[in-house]
Amino acid sequence: MSFKLKFCLTFIFSAAFALASYGQRVKPPQNVLEYFTALPTKYFAPVKNVNERKKLVRIQDLENGFLRLESNTWEGWGEVALFKNADGTKTLGVQTIGCGPGCETESIFFVQYKNGRWIDVTSDVLPEISQTELNRVLKCYKPDTESPAFAYYELPRYGTTVKLIDNNEDEEAGSLLYELAWNGTKFSARAKRDRACKEQ
């Protein structure tokens, strides 16, 4: 075999191996745990190491695409949920909740993994609900309250509806203020009101 032929064959095999390796690297995550552990540092900066992230998982429900995160050094918890998109891809939601006193969402974001890139789609899929609106809805449940709504999101383990819950420090179970239903593209917000509260 000539040197030239050997060189060509070596180049072809090397290129094929490189392409195969690249294909493996850009293969999208397959379940909610893989999505969570593959998140770039900028999205989950406090815990960068994959093994340390796995240690945070207290509930792992791969079938329903849900993780609950907890830590002995964390006054609160986190939730990770996968949502199916209309085009067959997935959207990952991640939130962290801090408590003491009362609990509220510290951060929440939604990302998609497409063509080897992570894309933040939070502003595209999650409607903004103002503090004024939350306070107004809370008044429907507690007309005499002077406290502002102290709310946190709850990502779903079952179904695809995200809940926005008031958790003032003076109560054990918060009031459900809003439901945000996933339609395969984005969430649509619907306020939950007491029967005595009229639409405004």
Does 146 lie in the same domain as 186? yes
Is 80 exceeded by the pLDDT of residue 92?
yes
1 pLDDT band, cuts 50/70/90, is low
Does 123 lie in the same domain as 52? yes
Tell me what pLDDT residue 150 has. 83
Does 41 lie in the same domain as 23? no
Does 165 lie in the same domain as 102? yes
> Is 197 within the bounds of a domain?
no
Tell me what pLDDT residue 138 has. 86
Q: Which of 22-26, 110-114, 122-126 has the weakest average pLDDT?
A: 22-26
DSSP code string of 81-103: EEEE-TTS-EEEEEEEEEESSSE
CA torsion 109→73→66→52, rounded to 10°? 90
Does 74 lie in the same domain as 173? yes
> Is 199 within the bounds of a domain?
no
Q: 91-120 burial string, b = 16+ CB within 10 Å, else e?
A: bbbbbbbbeeebbbbeebbbbbbeeeebee
Q: Which of 16-20, 91-95, 125-129 has the weakest average pLDDT?
A: 16-20
Does 85 lie in the same domain as 19? no
Q: Which of 22-26, 37-41, 108-112 has the weakest average pLDDT?
A: 22-26
Does 95 lie in the same domain as 13? no
> Is 198 within the bounds of a domain?
no
Q: 182: helix, coil or strand?
A: strand
Tell me what pLDDT residue 11 has. 39
Does 94 lie in the same domain as 75? yes
| Torsion sign over Cα 93, 26, 45, 34 | positive
Cα–Cα distance for residue pair 117/112, rounded to 1 Å? 8
Does 4 lie in the same domain as 103? no
Cα–Cα distance for residue pair 106/151, rounded to 1 Å? 10
Q: What residues make up the domain containing 115?
A: 32-191
Does 145 lie in the same domain as 162? yes
Cα–Cα distance for residue pair 168/177, rounded to 1 Å? 12
> Is 200 within the bounds of a domain?
no
> Is 52 within the bounds of a domain?
yes
Taking only the tens place, the pLDDT of each residue in 118-170 is: 999 999 999 999 999 988 888 887 888 888 888 889 999 999 999 999 876 55
Burial class (CB in 10 A: 0-12, 13-18, 19+), 24: exposed
Does 115 lie in the same domain as 64? yes
DSSP code string of 11-73: HHHHHHHHHHHHHHHTPPP-SHHHHHHH--TTTSTT--SHHHHHHHEEEEETTTTEEEE--TT
pTM, whole model, 2 decimals?
Answer: 0.79
> Is 131 within the bounds of a domain?
yes
Does 96 lie in the same domain as 73? yes
Tell me what pLDDT residue 182 has. 97
Report the number of distinct structural domains present in the chain: 2
